[in-house]
Amino acid sequence: MQLWNKLSKEELVEKLKERGTKFVTVSFYQYADIPNPQVFRDHLFQMWDKLGIVGRTYIATEGINAQIGVPADQFEQFRKELYEISFLNNIRLNIAVDETEAEFPFLKLKIKVRKKILADGLNDSTFDVRNKGKHLKADEFNALVNDSNTILIDMRNHYETEVGHFKGAITPDVDTFRESLPIIEDEILAGNEDKNIVMYCTGGIRCEKASAWYKHRGFKNVHQLEGGIIKYANDCADLGIENKFIGKNFVFDERRGERITEDIISVCHQCGSPADTHTNCLNDACHLLFIQCESCKEKMQGCCSSECQEIYNLPEEKQRALRKGKENSNKIFKKGRSDKLKFKGNNQKPLRVAQPIAVKSKD
Instruction: Please give the positions annotated as active site.
Output: 201
Shortest CA distance to 96 belongs to which of 88, 87, 81, 106? 106
Pairwise CA distance, residues 324 & 334, whole Å = 21
Sign of CA dihedral 166, 289, 180, 98: positive
Question: For the residues of 144-171, what is the DSSP string, one character each?
Answer: HHTSTTEEEEE-S-HHHHTTEEETT-B-
Pairwise CA distance, residues 197 & 220, whole Å = 9
Question: For the residues of 249-281, what is the DSSP string, one character each?
Answer: E--SSTT--EESSSEE--B-TTT-SB---EEE-
* Backbone region of residue 171 per phi and psi (left: phi > 0; alpha: psi in -120 to 50; beta: other values): beta
How many CB atoms are located within 10 Å of the residue 332 CB?
A: 13
Is residue 10 helix, strand or coil?
A: helix
Is residue 245 helix, strand or coil?
A: strand
